[in-house]
Structure 1
């Protein structure tokens, strides 16, 4: 009973710890994944065996292209009917959806946009930039631009009002063609929200190779922070695999705890926080019971085997005595 009460107290303590603000200095691992940054670990660290915990994952990245006004076929819905439009405004004239390999995006320069130079860039790679000079001396009709891994060809074009520009992605990566310039405030990575339906986590206990699939639940008070509660029942090294999609980008990343060379904590026995008595864990009790059961079964088998040999020996001895008595009786008769 005392053991059960202590476990309950420790469990409630872990729950209280999980309610602390997510900015505590825990040992978490992190890395860049495409245009996103993952920071992952256990919500409560040090992470103790038998005490409720959770996977904690924070994801930041560039703003999603889902808020652009494209019709889904590569043609933008931005109005070009104002000659005083700010050509430097981010996405002020056009903004494509994410373009996979082979995808196209097109926009037509409005008739009343003239004698201006429109800067544009790749929203997924800010080093890829280009300009569209608009004047009556430029090209009319369709003007084609090829998107490569790190460049545009041609990057600078000269068109007339009414011309249609068509970009085609010839690379394997994702691109998003956007008019205007990217200022320093927009280049900062922001929390990525709404991924509970598209991402999952697989928790793996390395030594036993046991694994479980967990849902990632977003923290309503902290966008971009996702958790998956669980109770670790064995200490040791753990792996966390995150897989699914973010804005159409395939994600499959595995992170490992410190014992395997990673950055977040291993699961450890709770003995260091037990006071005044050190308690035996459920795992140790189960192991001791299993071992005792195996020993008793082996002893029973050996006992049964020994009893069988004793019986056989007694039978053989009885037969020998009977044969001897019979032989003696026959000898007395002959005399």
Structure 2
């Protein structure tokens, strides 16, 4: 009975592993039949993160499949399509941002493979759009990242803070301190002017009092007259 349970458990585990393997492969890059060709598209570096150097990864093969040595989508292709960069254009877009035109570049020593460098600056889904012709066949294909295609762009924590961020923070603090000091200086100036005006007023009053004749003197002069 125990042996049956163990064998049954192993069978369930093997089935789960077999089910997960195709999902992992599918999430790395998207493979699509495009007329007489097969395209494999994704980010060059996956997972993809904002602010990190990345690129479109494009593999183009003759026929309905890509014959890649060793399996997966990173090995050499035995049925590559050459000179794709000369007849296809690439664009990347995300959200409501205008598409960015990119130049496809062949990968040295890897026929059929091409890249187009850029740095994603926003999280979310990205769409790679290829247009042009391949040996007379019109190409107009869009590949969008997602759970069943290729990596979405995620945010990654950075440490330590970049110099630009630190400098900006210091500049903001310095600016705030300067504003506070200006306010203090303005307050001191206004207070000094007020004090000066008060002193002038007091001096004027003292002078006026000194110039005013005493009331007793006026009475004596009136009697003498």
TM-score range (shorter-chain normalised) is 0.5 to 0.7
Deviation (angstroms), 1:51: 5.5
Deviation (angstroms), 1:30: 4.3
Task: Give the direction of change, closer, same or farther, for the CA distance of 1:56–1:252 in structure 2 (3 Å limit).
Answer: same
- Residue matched to 1:143: none
Task: Give the direction of change, closer, same or farther, for the CA distance of 1:256–1:328 in structure 2 (3 Å limit).
Answer: farther
Work out the CA distance in 1 between the residues paired with 2:160 and 2:149: 29
Bigger share in helix: 2
- Residue matched to 1:197: 86
Query: How many residues were matched structurally?
Result: 174
Work out the CA distance in 2 between the residues paired with 1:326 and 1:191: 101
The alignment's C-alpha RMSD in Å is 3.8
Task: Give the direction of change, closer, same or farther, for the CA distance of 1:238–1:220 in structure 2 (3 Å limit).
Answer: same
* Rg larger in structure: 2
Q: Note the alpha carbon deviations across 1:89-115, whole angstroms, 9 max, x for none.
A: xxxxxxxxxxxxxxxxxxxxxxxxxxx
In the alignment, structure 2 segments of 5+ residues that lack a partner are 1-23, 65-78, 214-225
In the alignment, structure 1 segments of 5+ residues that lack a partner are 1-23, 64-189, 272-277
Q: Note the alpha carbon deviations across 1:188-221, whole angstroms, 9 max, x for none.
A: xx643321112233344659x4875432123465
Deviation (angstroms), 1:244: 3.1
Residues 30-109 of structure 1 correspond to what in structure 2 (within 5 A)?
Answer: 30-33=31-34, 36-48=37-49, 52-60=53-61
Q: Note the alpha carbon deviations across 1:233-256, whole angstroms, 9 max, x for none.
A: 746235243333123455444434
TM-score (norm 1): 0.41
- Residue matched to 1:218: 106
Deviation (angstroms), 1:44: 2.7
